[in-house]
């Protein structure tokens, strides 16, 4: 039994396509990509180099959206070195959402995780088993989402954020923060993630001060403080303040825990 490859698909000669894998119309499979048995690459899907699609994953399926027809030529564009484990599903874009779902480099999509239409994901993110991202969700880089968490449509999650397992995320999660619960609240800084990323102690201390000043206060008072934080010389603080100022859905509330006591997640 051979692979089912549409005649319009473009496959790099170094790609490994297992028998029973499926590659749709106008798909492009880059160098050294690997498609295992029963892996499905949908139409108008582009994979960069060294991506691995495990069995029964569907990368580039039609958007799960009532306004979008399955045969529309919306796209999924993936970068390099991504891993799509068994049963993961990544939807293409929609005509009303920009037409493209974009995945960066080095992301890990564990078994049965889902990324909805028109989502934008950066680099080095980890979605644990059963994570579900609705349409139009946007991630930064090196975000970690625990198992079976769900993210509401149009929510943004900033770089180096950590969301605990089973969380229900309905508001934006700023960069460098941890969140948990239904509806998810901010617990403090992702201290372990910051250390692993090489963020200096000085920068971590400045972030902690900013967390207390901005996120432990009522939402209505945050914007004025965030504007003031933009003058801070630490790039991480500027990114945190900018994220808050640009939030359209609103940022998740902070819990009453003292973020100074958080050692960050073990993951």
In this structure, how many other beta carbons lie within 10 angstroms of the beta carbon of residue 267? 13
Q: Give, for 210, the enclosing helix (H) or strand (E).
A: helix 201-215
Residue 50 annotated to the active site: no
Residue 250 annotated to the active site: no
* 166: Cα separation from own chain's centroid: 16
Q: How far apart are CA 16 and CA 44, in angstroms?
A: 19
Catalytic residue among 50, 65, 105, 118: 118
Residue 227 annotated to the active site: no
Catalytic residue among 135, 140, 146, 158: 135
Catalytic residue among 117, 141, 152, 193: 117
DSSP string, 15-64: -EE-TT-EE-TT-EE-TT-EE-TT-EE-TTEEE-SS-EE-TT-EEEEPPS
Q: Cβ(179)–Cβ(160) under 8 Å?
A: no
What Å distances lie between residue 186 and 116, 169, 191, 258, CA to CA?
24, 10, 13, 11
Q: Which two tokens stand for residue 252?
A: 């998740």
- Catalytic machinery residues: 117-118, 135
């Amino acid at each position: 039994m051979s692979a089912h490859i549409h005649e319009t698909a473009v496959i790099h000669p170094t790609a490994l396509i297992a028998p029973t894998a499926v590659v749709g119309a106008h798909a492009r499979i880059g160098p050294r990509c690997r498609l295992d048995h029963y892996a499905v690459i949908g139409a108008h899907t582009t994979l960069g180099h060294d991506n691995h699609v495990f069995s029964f994953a569907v990368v580039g399926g039609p958007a799960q959206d009532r306004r979008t027809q399955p045969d529309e030529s919306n796209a999924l564009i993936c970068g390099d070195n991504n891993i799509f484990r068994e049963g993961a599903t990544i939807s293409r874009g929609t005509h009303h959402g920009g037409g493209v779902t974009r995945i960066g480099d080095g992301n890990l999509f564990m078994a049965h995780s889902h990324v909805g239409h028109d989502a934008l994901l950066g680099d080095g993110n980890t979605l644990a088993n059963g994570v579900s991202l609705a349409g139009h969700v946007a991630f930064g880089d090196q975000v970690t989402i625990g198992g079976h968490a769900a993210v509401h449509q149009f929510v943004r999650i900033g770089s180096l954020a950590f969301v605990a397992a089973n969380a229900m995320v309905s508001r934006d999660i700023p960069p460098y923060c941890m969140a948990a619960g239904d509806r998810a609240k901010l617990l403090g800084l992702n201290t372990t993630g910051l250390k692993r990323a090489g963020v200096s102690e000085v920068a971590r201390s400045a972030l902690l001060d900013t967390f207390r000043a901005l996120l432990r206060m009522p939402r209505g008072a945050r914007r004025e403080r965030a504007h003031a934080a933009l003058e801070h010389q630490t790039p991480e603080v500027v990114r945190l303040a900018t994220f808050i100022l640009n939030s359209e859905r609103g940022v998740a509330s902070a819990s009453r825990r003292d973020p100074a006591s958080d050692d960050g997640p073990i993951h």
